[in-house]
Amino acid sequence: MEHYIRKLSGKQYLARLEKNPTVIIPTGACEVYGPQLPMGTDLLAAQKIAELIAERTGALIAPTVEMGESSALAAFPCTFALPRKVLEDYLEALVDILIQDGAKNFIFITGHAGNVDTVSYIIKKRLDQGIKACQIDWWRFTNANSGEIFTHKGPMAHGHASECGTSVMMYLYPELVDHAEITCVEPQPNPFPDVLQYEHFTEKTPNGTIGDATAATREKGEAIVSACVERIMAYLDTAF
């Protein structure tokens, strides 16, 4: 069964939405993701998780945007940083069209941390329209639901393009991982974790990796994805 709205005719789309008013909206980014992973890692991961959830639920997958709010990484030349206002306008238009067409349940699979606040804002503004919505902040979700799988803890496992991200991509898109470029970049100690701090990402890493990507394996990636998909399904079975 086809789940992507863009691959359906208008008639098919409306009929499917009437039968099952649940829509998945994946978002991500296009930015430096270590030397070993594709720049679209955040979106690629979010889309594949959306597909796995759609296969289990029959939900539709909405058209999405390939860039995200990546201002934190803008110091790297290979980063397509979308202004937050543009992302907000796009998602608001998308959600409003879907509501108009009959969507009632929204599952946001957010593959990029920079998009999380914008998605939350859009959901909260529309709760009085009778919709149900949830957001899976994907990489934070993996941290919360697959801790025993990793060799490391904290940023060594869950930093940018490190053990977790590289393992997930080894499983979901093995052909896109450049094993010869996998590195370990130890995060700098932060004596004030309780203070919100702002600095260029290039001050934290020379290549976009933070953590130990050398600990990544395909087997870990499969276990992470399986555990997280089951957790998402457990929530959806009670919420929708």
Contact 172, 229 (CB under 8 A): no
Domains of the chain with bracketed CATH: 5-239 (3.40.50.10310)
Q: Do β-strands 211-212 and 184-185 pair in parallel, antiparallel, or remain unpaired?
A: antiparallel
First to last CA, the chain: 21
Say if residue 240's pLDDT is above 90: no
Q: State the average pLDDT over residues 127-142.
A: 96
**DSSP letter (8 states) at residue 30:** B
Query: Residue 34's pLDDT is what?
Result: 97
d(CA 187, CA 177): 22
Q: State the average pLDDT over residues 190-204.
A: 92
Say if residue 147's pLDDT is above 90: no
State pLDDT tens for residues 20-31. 999 999 999 999
Which pLDDT band holds residue 59 (cuts at 50, 70, 90)?
A: very high
Token pair, residue 63, equals: 């058209």
In which element (H, E) is residue 231 found? helix 218-239
Q: State the average pLDDT over residues 76-97.
A: 96
